[in-house]
Structure 1
Amino acid sequence: MGTRHETAGPEGMQQGFTEAEMAFIRENIHANAGDLILKAGQFKGLDVKKLAGQIQSRQKALKKLPEWSANDKLIFPPALSVEQCSSEATALYKASIVSGQALIDITGGMGIDCYYMSRSFGETHYFEQQPAVAASAAYNFAQLRASRIQVHAGESLKALQEGLAADWLYADPARRDANKEKVVRLADCTPDVAGNAALLLQSAPHILIKTSPLLDIDLASKELQNLQEVHVIGYEQECKELLFVLNRAMPDADFKIKIRIVDAAGQPIYQLDFDRAEERNALVGYSKPLGYLYEPHAAVLKAGAFKTLCARYGLQKLAIHSQLYTSEKLVDDFPGRSFRIAAVCKPDIREISQHIPGDKANITTRNFPAKPEELRKKWKLKDGGDHYLFATTLADQTKVVIVGVKPI
């Protein structure tokens, strides 16, 4: 069967794959996991069910975790855990905003964030209560030569109570309750970082808390002490996560909101910093569609920078609730999608079809009494092509469809 690549994990657990197992995973990386299990009898001497699970998880990770996916020796958790873990891009971003001699990761898990952030520290302590998960992390860190990470299979808060300290402390609280339902309040996550804030800040002067993008930023800000800033992270077209930074030396005051739309290397492509006072006081003008149309990135919308966009980029809104913007001249560095307006039509396919070739268009609705799929069916349009239809409501309550194309 070949040499088994293994390491001792907590409680003496042994883990790893034989050369034959790694070859099977490589050869079937694009296969359907269910089909492989049905054909298990054809692969003598292999635990096909186990390997099919690895293949399914690696398929989820191919784009999300390119460095880990490229390493044949790593053990992946079930596919659902891979879906829920940080991407390499967002983990690299976190690593860029923390540094020091020591880091404590109190929530462990798969260890993606811990691995990348550990590069910015002399030593890192990883805590995970489930021994099997901690053993897998220890094994993976060894294969990745992350020698500065110490794996602890145990309760992190107990270690903090006993005096373990660091420059930074990281937490990614579980975002599901006992019934496996998603939660959107910080107090409903495990561990309760808000309830244990005093202990966390006693153990480290800087705290980084990752949460779901579903969390209410302003509600969470009321639950947390010493909040310095909130990073709203966008990657590709989605808002991926929120990062709350606590600072022991920071008095409770207005916190900064930092929108960061990052590339695959975790580097910001677009960034915008503001606070709630600026948003409240920003002046907004309204206009009918001009030469260009702008759709903010999902991270910008999550951050609530609706009026700030107008002030910062010299834009006007189409309507108070539409969250679409316009200008006469193109704004090159807008944090979102930009379009040249080709036409403004009534919501009538006979008029719209005069401005789009063929039967393809990308449809978006903003503050409009129909969903994109409903309009696509009604107008008999296929998804795709080079034309973008924005069905929306203007400030005077007129319903329109704006036909846009990507600016040259």
Structure 2
Amino acid sequence: MKQFVQDHLDDDPAQLLLGYLGKVDFDLKFAVQQINARQKVKSKVPSWYKNRNLIFPVSLSIEQASSELTGRYKVGLVSGGKMVDLTGGLGVDSYFLSQKFQTAVYCEQNKDLFDITKHNLKVLSPDKFEFVLGDSMTWFIQQQEVFDLVFIDPARRGEGNRKLYRLEDCEPDIVGQWDGLKSKSKAILVKASPMLDLKLALGSLQDLAKIMVLSVKNEVKEVLLFWSLESVGSSPRIEAVDIRNEASIAFSFTFEEEENSSNKIAEEVGQFLYEPNAAILKAGAFKIFGHRFGLGKIHPNSHFFYRK
């Protein structure tokens, strides 16, 4: 079956299902599902696409997973002895984050997805992971040790597949569990909706060290909320990061800096016109961007900047 999948990676899955029905001695439907999944994974997690020993779940899990570019960016955020991913899913973030830790724990409550990802993580990182099937928060509360990192990506789909944006509406409810999470963590990284209101998040989760807005090639993909035991009491920073294949471009500020900044309004159009990237605009750097680089605005209600 593996060879069939490799031989038909560029073919139409529907046509394969019709053309080979009753002509092969393996599960054709499963093989075609793998071809369809790999076609989706190719651009999202290219290093996994090349590994013929991996298997993949239905399309929805792939669509909801992080990309390899954002996964690799997270690798540099924190390191230590042991981390846990409380909402493991396809395991993209689990795998990349674990590269800076001695051991890792993958948690997932969906049995089919758990089995597939367990297989993949054992292929990718032998002997690195422990695996927990079931309610991760119930498991976490029972733990006695303190983790160097807790990663959590709350489910953002409600009844009828309705999209959810507020942290309080997602599952698990990290706002209600925040104190418990902090009590057994040295650092917490939360992946939230790109539509999240950043100021509301700061009000909901106490002592955040920073908020990172990640865009990939100028399209906002993720908002990350970071808490660290070492940063308690410090003013939270906002980081807008645009990730490219070659490098990342970051802009860092605080909301206090934004509030205290002002921009000169153009009396006439300058020679150069600038538009901040999507991550900067999502982060809310509407005045500090121009202030820091000596740019004027073409209008108070516009986010276009100029320089003569």
Question: Normalising by the residue count of structure 1, what TM-score does the alignment of the two structures yield?
Answer: 0.72
- Correspondent of 1:312 among 277, 292, 302: 292
**SS of 1:326's equivalent?**
strand
Task: Sort the Cα spacing of 1:135 and 1:164 in 2 relative to 1 into closer, same or farther, 3 A.
Answer: farther
The answer to whether the 8 Å contact 1:170/1:208 transfers is: yes
Q: Which moved more, 1:83-92 or 1:139-148?
A: 139-148
- Confirm whether residue 202 of structure 1 aligns to residue 202 of structure 2: no
Residues 1-400 of structure 1: matches in 2 within 5 Å? 21-41=1-21, 43-162=23-142, 163-251=144-232, 254-264=235-245, 267-268=247-248, 270-287=249-266, 288-328=268-308
Between the aligned partners of 2:28 and 2:292, the Cα distance in structure 1 is 56
Residues 1:168 and 1:272: Cα distance change in structure 2 (over 3 Å): same
What displacement does 1:290 show? 1.7
Partners of 1:264 and 1:196 in 2: CA distance: 36
Deviation at 1:39, TM superposition (A): 1.8
Shift of 1:252: 5.7
Number of residue pairs matched by the alignment? 306
After superposing the two structures, state which structure 1 stretch, 273-282 or 144-153, moved more: 144-153
Report the residue type matching 1:224 in the other structure: L
- Give, in angstroms, the shift of residue 205 of structure 1: 2.0
Q: Larger C-alpha radius of gyration, 1 or 2?
A: 1
Distance in 2 of aligned mates of 1:285 and 1:108: 47
Task: Give the number of the structure whose residues are more often strand, by fraction.
Answer: 1
TM-score w.r.t. the length of structure 2 is 0.94
Cα distance in 2, alignment partners of residues 320 and 48 from structure 1? 60
Cα distance between partner residues in 2 of 1:260 and 1:166: 27
- Contact kept, 8 Å, 2:122 with 2:129, in 1: the verdict is no
Please report the RMSD computed on the Cα atoms of aligned residues, expressed in angstroms.
1.6
**Could you say if the C-alpha distance between residues 313 and 146 of structure 1 is closer, same or farther in structure 2, counting changes exceeding 3 Å?**
farther
Following the alignment from structure 1 to structure 2, what is the Cα–Cα distance between the partners of residues 48 and 296? 49
Q: Which stretch of structure 1 is more off in the superposition, 312-321 or 207-216?
A: 312-321
Unaligned 5+ segments in structure 1 are 1-20, 329-408
Identity in percent: 33
CA positional deviation for 1:216: 1.1
- Asked if 1 retains the 8 angstrom alpha-carbon contact of 2:107 and 2:136, the reply is yes
Q: Aligned equivalents of 1:32 and 1:322: distance in 2?
A: 46
Aligned counterparts of 1:33 and 1:237: Cα–Cα separation in 2: 31
Supply the AA of the counterpart residue of 1:264: N
The answer to which structure has the higher helix fraction is 2
- Looking at structure 2, the residues matched to 83 and 322 of structure 1 have their Cα atoms a distance apart, in angstroms, of 34
Identify if the C-alpha distance between structure 1 residues 326 and 140 changes in structure 2 by more than 3 Å, giving closer, same or farther: same
Do the aligned partners of 1:22 and 1:72 also contact (CA within 8 Å) in 2?
yes
Deviates more, 1:288-297 or 1:300-309: 288-297
CA distance in 1 between counterparts of 2:288 and 2:19 reads: 58
Distance across 2 between alignment mates of 1:44 and 1:160 = 45
Distance in 1 (alpha carbons) for counterparts of 2:155 and 2:17:
31
| Contact residue 213 and residue 242 of structure 1 kept, 8 A | yes
